[in-house]
Structure 1
Amino acid sequence: MRINNNISAMNTYSRLTSAQGAQSKSLEKLSSGLRINRAGDDAAGLAISEKMRGQIKGLNQSVRNAQDGISLIQTAEGSLNETHSILNRMRELAVQSSNDTNTNADRKEIQNEMDQLATEITRISGNTEFNTQKLLNGTFEGKFHIGANKDQNMTLAVSDMSSKALGVAGTGGLIVSNTKSAATTPALADLAVSAGEKLTLEVLDTATTIGDAAGTQVANAKYLLKNEAGDIVGASADGKVFSIAADGEAGNASTVDFAGAGEVTFEGVVKGDVTVSANATTPANADFTADVALAEETDLASGSYKYVTAANRADSTVDVLVNTANNEIAAYIGANASEWKDAAGNVVLETSRNLVANEEFEINSASGINVSTQEAANTAIKTIDDAITAVSAERSKLGAVQNRLDHTINNLTTTSENLSAAESRIRDVDMAKEMMEFTKNNILNQASTAMLAQANQMPQGVLQLLG
């Protein structure tokens, strides 16, 4: 009998320690609900589980991506629904104007409504947005990421749905303000102009020769300055340099001495009233927008534009037109100072005179398709039919993509569900099974404790030998 090494106690203690460790792990798994709480629990299983978790999260986000895509499509398609309604009304007007029971005045009113409808189609195409992205102006081409992994996406491009792209925008839709008919042999009045007096600018349809009593003549005049009494006190061929009467009241401090100069230079043609400054050869006109006679149809979008010369541009030697709404260059000057070209070199605007530095003007190019005559209205019916077909095709495409995304969402949801089940089998604990293990380890722990007490008593048998 040996007492220095109680082998039975040591063996029992080892079993007790093992039972306590197993019981501790069972408690950890039961309290967390996870079979793998650390890499040491199952190194391979942990790696597989984390990869699956990445896939599951990607699939769930892809479902949300697809749902956002459907929302975008519904936004675009909803706007096209209104475009369809407008086109149907335009077709109705075209059919109405095709009937010769209408007079020219009737057709003028029909044309006015047609212009407004075309403008609204263009406004819808330019203003329909989703998350600040324009959808119907021909610039949207996006990818919907509908998978958990790289390159699992689909592309959607939406066509330009403006009135011009649909073919229902009119030609010659540029508006020239302050246009007047030329008077019969107008004369340049021999009058002075008082300081503070307002002059009205008129733009003639046809250039004519303006003369005064002293024999002064202005050839090919298209721009007239009139005082409040209707007298012509200035005339110009180019809208910049105006000839005036031969004998103003020189030396009178309360008047502008036109007589001494013989002409007055403006910073560009103005529209409306011009206030004359005292003792100056240039009437103040900074508060007025320049009026430009637009000679031909333009492809420039409706809006406000500013002429910026090369001298005012540090980055170029080319004169340009700038869209004042977004400060983007819309056109550049061609070889002819009245011709403006786009980036491809196409002439998009011709003005009836040369522009002046920093001159601003408005363009309205959004008129509707011509229905002002029986022939034009009859032709317009087919054009509008083609536009309706184009919108129908675009809406059909959007609807097909939306249906595709609906199926995509169902597929992604099912895949995510099945992958989650597989990941759960690897990562999550089986509570019933683990409870069995815990009960077993608990019993073993108690039994080992009792046996360790017994093993510790075994060396006491040596005392019997000592008597």
Structure 2
Amino acid sequence: MRINHNIPALNAHRILSRNNNSASETMERLSSGRRINRAKDDAAGMAISEKMKTQIRGLRKASQNTLDGISLIQTAEGAMNEVHSMLQRMRELAVQSANGTTTDDDREAIQSEIDQLTSEVNRIANGTEFNTRNLLRGNEGPNSNTTVHRMSTGEAATIVSPHQIKGDADLSSEDMTITIDGEERVIRLASIDGSSSEEEQKDKMVEVINDAIGDLGNAILTSSGNIEIRSTSVGGNSNIEIEGTKLALHGFGLMSEEDYNDSDLKAQPITARGKAEVDTGYAEGSILFDEIPEAGSTLTIGGTKIEFFDSSVEPYTGSYRPIDISDGDGNPRDLEEIIDIITGMDFAGIDSIERDRISTPVNFEVITPSDNTAGSEVEGVYSFELLSQPVAGETITIGGVEFTFTNDDSGVEIGADLDATIANLETAIGDEGTFTATDIGNPITITETTASGTDITVESTVGTYVDRIVFTATEEGFAGQSIFLEGTPKEFVANLQIGPNQGQGFRLSVGDIRAVQLNISSETPDGNTGVRGASYRQVKGVTDGLSEGMVEHSLNVSDEESATAAITVYNNAIIQVAQLRGELGAIQNRLEYTSANLDNTMENMTAALSRIEDADMALEMSEYTKMNVMMQAGTSMLAQANQQPQMVLQLLQG
């Protein structure tokens, strides 16, 4: 028997302490309801459960975000419903005004109601908000001032005038229409009267086309003075048709001088069709710059976002690829510099990035037809004008003889300017021998050395640069079409976070339904309604809906002809709003399914978390009962073990 170390007591104490700890842990699980209260309870389970909690809380918030998105759509769609009702009423009034039994006084009253309803359309569009964000007045953020054609193996319908447009022509009394993808638009030529300078009138000519076609396409003026019209749509169904009087087509460079002067020749429609999309070749897309991008605007190219900033105002602090629109000295950069910066960048999935160059046909004229009839043998005399400075590799073919422009003397050397290049071309023509240059300059006049008997043609691949960047995909076929190109959207855009993780968003867009966008009002009295015979009032009678000032001109229904044409304008507006409402309805249906899926996923994930983290109360209570009995037994045994040293005293007392 020992008294210095009571081994049975130590053993009983150890077991009692262990049971006490187990009982404490069991009580903790019973009181919290959780199987895992700290990492040591289940390290792996704790790590898994924390990730699950992250997902569950994210799913819960994503579901709320989705419901907020549905509420936003319902707000916008409800406002559009009222606009639809007003458009129907305005169409009804136009039908009434077009009736021959309606007097001028009646039409004046009708016009007054039209003005008020148009102002109310503006009020709804300008005043409809969701959480202080304006929904129906388009994108109010910084504008990149770009027109984007998506990546495609097909092509948009494109018309390039074969001749320069005439900046001094009076086309104010002429007629011209353009039809893009089946939608006919009237081009208003009243302002093209030859009274402005040539440069100003050329800009006006491009402007009236863009006013007419709206979002259906885009017209630009090349540096060589030709006009290019390109549809927004891409593919085999994309088409453009231009019809007009001979003078109008001639003025826009769509008819040659010779054809215009031929009194027997009637004006023919000018047509173009896009190229169908196929799963071969490499997809191409483009971004056309109308002017310098605004600071804060962005471009998206594939998975890369470019943000423009102005270093003369503040340094860049964002996280995208920045481009400074200032040259560092406080002066704005040239658009050409910005294009050069972008073309020098690398983007995933993009094989090549080049500034676009479109071919500009030469101005060709037959001065003296060639004739080798016996006894006559007349050499043909021709002239042609090269409209732009070539680049290396481009060619000009004169009567079957091809001349290639180069950067050295291996071909026609490109000079310091167009005049120098023309001089080198004239020398090359003379050296070749088929023709002689008899009139030095631009246009170039050439004469056959020997009569050929048939008139020649002159064809050229020489082009001119435009402010457009062309992107070519790395992958062939439809795979390359998946690369996303985007400038500044014209409509209101909200990105809904409808998932718990980064990148699980949904982009919601709502169209602009202000009266000007629906073509039922205009900021100027000579605005383009897009419908033949329809016009706007000369006097402003429409407000923005939020103030008393008159800012726009309403559709004119003050006479039978104008009222009849206005019916079609209101028809187009009704269809436009119906399309927007249809898109919102489809998105709302999608978001309702999204919300249901999020709730279902959250429920299932919560159940999985419960199986990992929650305690089985019945099992824990059984364990607690066992530990309670063990603690009582251990306490009793420890007490008895502590009594053993007392027996030594009995031995000592004898």
Q: So what's the TM-score if we normalise by structure 1?
A: 0.58
Q: Are residue 428 (structure 1) and residue 428 (structure 2) matched?
A: no
Matched, 1:166 2:352: no
Matches of residues 337-376 of structure 1 in structure 2 within 5 Å?
Answer: 364-376=550-562
Shift of 1:171: 7.5
Residue 4 (structure 1) aligned with residue 356 (structure 2): no
Assess, with a 3 A threshold, how the Cα gap between structure 1 residues 461 and 387 changes in structure 2: closer, same or farther.
same
Question: What pairs with 1:367-446 in structure 2 (closer than 5 Å)?
Answer: 367-446=553-632
In structure 1, how many angstroms separate the alpha carbons of the residues matched to 2:80 and 2:108? 28
Whether the 8 Å CA contact 2:94–2:567 is kept in 1: the answer is yes
Counterpart CA distance in 2 for 1:465 and 1:110 is 127
Question: Which secondary structure does the structure 1 equivalent of 2:495 belong to?
Answer: strand
Q: Kindly tell me: are residues 363 and 463 of structure 1, through their superposed partners in 2, closer, same or farther at Cα, counting changes over 3 Å? A: closer
For residue 588 of structure 2, give the secondary structure of its aligned residue in structure 1: helix
Kindly indicate whether the alpha-carbon contact (under 8 Å) linking 2:65 and 2:498 is maintained by their aligned counterparts in 1. yes
Question: Counterpart amino acid of 1:31?
Answer: S
- In structure 2, the partner of 1:254 is none
Deviation of 1:298 after TM superposition, in Å, equals: 11
Task: Give matches, 1:231-380, under 5 Å.
Answer: 364-380=550-566
Output aligned runs, 1:105-120, within 5 Å: 105-120=105-120
* Structure 2 residue aligned with 1:30: 30
172 and 455 in structure 1: CA distance in 2 versus 1, 3 angstrom threshold: closer
Question: Shift of residue 453 of structure 1?
Answer: 2.5
Cα distance in 1 between the residues matched to 2:539 and 2:112:
20
- Equivalent residue, structure 1, for 2:267: none
Q: CA deviation at 1:369?
A: 1.5
Distance 1:463-1:105 versus aligned 2 partners, 3 A rule = closer
Instruction: Show the counterpart of 2:69.
Output: 69
Q: Evaluate the alpha carbon distance shift between residue 398 and residue 57 of structure 1 in structure 2; reply closer, same or farther with a 3 A threshold.
A: same
The CA deviation at 1:302 is 5.2
- What is the distance in 1 between the residues matched to 2:501 and 2:629? 49
- Say whether residues 1:149 and 2:501 are aligned partners: yes
Q: CA deviation at 1:109?
A: 1.9
Alignment of 1:202-241 (within 5 A): none
Q: CA deviation at 1:77?
A: 0.7
CA shift, 1:462, in A, is: 5.1
Q: Post-superposition shift, 1:463?
A: 6.1
How many residues get paired? 291
1:441 partner letter: M
The answer to whether the Cα contact below 8 Å between 2:497 and 2:505 also exists between their aligned partners in 1 is yes
Q: Is the 8 A contact 2:539 2:553 kept in 1?
A: no
Letter of the structure 2 residue corresponding to residue 141 of structure 1: V
Q: Indicate the SS of the match to 1:164.
A: coil
- Residue 6 of structure 1 deviates from its aligned partner by 2.7
Q: Which amino acid aligns with 2:572?
A: D
Partners of 1:10 and 1:128 lie apart in 2 by 80
Any conservation in 2 of the 1:143–1:155 contact (CA below 8 Å)? yes
1:238 matched residue in structure 2: none
Residue identity opposite 1:50 in structure 2: E
Letter of the structure 2 residue corresponding to residue 114 of structure 1: I
Distance in 1 between residues matched to 2:85 and 2:649, nearest whole Å:
112
Distance 1:100 1:298 in 2: 24
Sort the Cα spacing of 1:367 and 1:115 in 2 relative to 1 into closer, same or farther, 3 A.
farther
What code does the residue aligned with 1:46 have? M
Q: Is the 8 A contact 2:20 2:631 kept in 1?
A: yes
Do the aligned residues in 1 keep the contact of 2:126 with 2:514 (CA within 8 Å)? Answer: yes
RMSD: 2.8
8 Å CA contact retained: 1:63, 1:412: yes
- Return the structure number with greater helix share: 1
Question: Unmatched 5+ residue regions in structure 2?
Answer: 140-491, 527-536
Question: CA offsets, 1:433-456, max 9 Å, x none?
Answer: 111111111111111112222333
Distance 1:363 1:14, change over 3 A: closer
Query: Does the residue aligned with 1:109 lie in a helix, a strand or coil?
Result: helix
Aligned match of 1:16: 16
Point out where structure 1 has 5 or more consecutive residues left out of the alignment: 175-295, 304-324, 326-361
Q: CA deviation at 1:415?
A: 1.2
* CA offsets 1:228-260 (integer angstroms, 9 cap, x no match): xxxxxxxxxxxxxxxxxxxxxxxxxxxxxxxxx
8 Å contact 1:173–1:364 — kept in the other structure? no
Contact 1:137–1:161 (CA<8 Å) still a contact in 2? yes
Rounded to whole Å, the distance in 1 between the matches of 2:594 and 2:523 is 45
CA distance in 2, matches of 1:396, 1:443: 71
Structure 1 residue 47 corresponds to structure 2 residue 47? yes
Q: Rg larger in 1 or in 2?
A: 1
Query: Residues 371 and 67 of structure 1: is their aligned pair in 2 closer, same or farther, counting only changes over 3 Å?
Result: same
Aligned to 1:150, the other structure's residue is in SS state coil
Gap change, CA 1:364 and 1:462, over 3 Å in 2: closer
Amino acid at match of 2:56: I
- 2:89 equivalent to 1:89: yes
Displacement of 1:461: 5.3
* Equivalent pair of 2:122/2:543 in contact (CA under 8 Å): no
Deviations 1:178-226 (A, max 9, x none): xxxxxxxxxxxxxxxxxxxxxxxxxxxxxxxxxxxxxxxxxxxxxxxxx
